[in-house]
Amino acid sequence: MEEELISNDPGVSGLIKEKTGKILFDLVTTIPESLMCPTEAPEKKIQKLIQKSSVKTAILSATLAIPAGSVGILTIIPDLTAIWRIQAQLVADIAATYGQIAVLSREAMVWCLFRHTASQLVRDIAVRTGSRLIMQKVSVSALRALLQKIGIQASSKLLGRALFRAIPALGAIGSGAYAYYDTQEVGKTAEAYFKALSDQSKIQKEKNTD
């Protein structure tokens, strides 16, 4: 019952939820650089990037989930932070592979990272105009508030699964599997978004040369 008491402790859970919002704000306002180069056939390269990042987050999350008790609960913050950083780098690498790194905004980063887990929270960021998905610029204060809500939601889900950390093997397997799935979804969202931008750029170039 130690984990349940810890996860329900307002001091511990409050600290985790407060920190995740700040971590996310720092993350999305500092777009990672990428060493990837644009390519004419990016699909296979991107699939490899997604797979590599998914395996990396799975191993990392599983390793951090092994400790039980209060130590296991406290690994939630570094677990989330490390996974989000890997996923943010994946988004940047996918954007660069499609030659769209210059248009990777903080709003696009939020969309790619959390569309699949917090669709209701991020729905106002993206506006669809015909076949185009346009990212709406948001103020710093609005972005901070949004990321705080996303951070609370993400940390609450992990705290809700805190009891599984009482069984190291089960906790590790569950955390690793979820991290793998989560990163796969981030990759799919980023691939769809930047592929669409790349296609639009190609169409525009063809029109300009006619």
Contact 101, 34 (CB under 8 A): yes
Q: What is the pLDDT of residue 163?
A: 53
Q: Is the per-residue pLDDT at 170 higher than 60? A: no
Quick check: 66 and 171 in contact, CB under 8 A? yes
pLDDT for 127:
87
Distance, CA of 30 to CA of 178 (rounded, Å):
25
How large is the average pLDDT for residues 44-62? Answer: 94
Q: Taking the domains of the chain in order of start, what are their residue ranges?
A: 2-201
Number of CB atoms found within 10 A of residue 22's CB: 13
pLDDT 10s digits, 58-113: 998 888 765 555 555 566 777 788 999 999 999 999 999 999 999 999 999 999 99
What per-residue confidence (pLDDT) applies to 124? Answer: 86
pLDDT tens profile 106-165: 999 999 999 998 988 998 898 888 778 889 999 999 999 999 889 888 877 766 655 555
For the chain, how big is the Rg over CA atoms in Å?
18
- Whether the pLDDT of residue 19 is over 90: the answer is no
User: Over 80: is that where the pLDDT of 203 sits?
Assistant: no
Residue-level pLDDT at 164 = 54
Q: Which of 7, 20, 140 is nearest to 79 (CA)?
A: 20
**Percentage of the chain lying above the pLDDT 90 cut:** 49
β-partners of residue 126 are 135
Average pLDDT over residues 27-43: 91
Q: Which pLDDT band holds residue 166 (cuts at 50, 70, 90)?
A: low
In the chain the first and final C-alpha atoms are separated, in Å, by 70
Number of residues that this document lists for the chain: 210
Q: How would DSSP label each residue in 11-38?
A: HHHHHHHHHHHHHHHHHHTSPPP-----
Q: Which residue has the higher pLDDT, 62 or 48?
A: 48
Give the confidence band of 6 by pLDDT, cuts at 50, 70, 90.
Answer: very low
Q: What is the pLDDT of residue 88?
A: 97
In this predicted structure, the answer to whether residue 191 has a pLDDT above a threshold of 90 is yes
- Residue 176 predicted with pLDDT over 90: no
Which amino acid is located at 169 in the chain?
A
Nearest to 162 by CA among 67, 78, 86, 24: 67
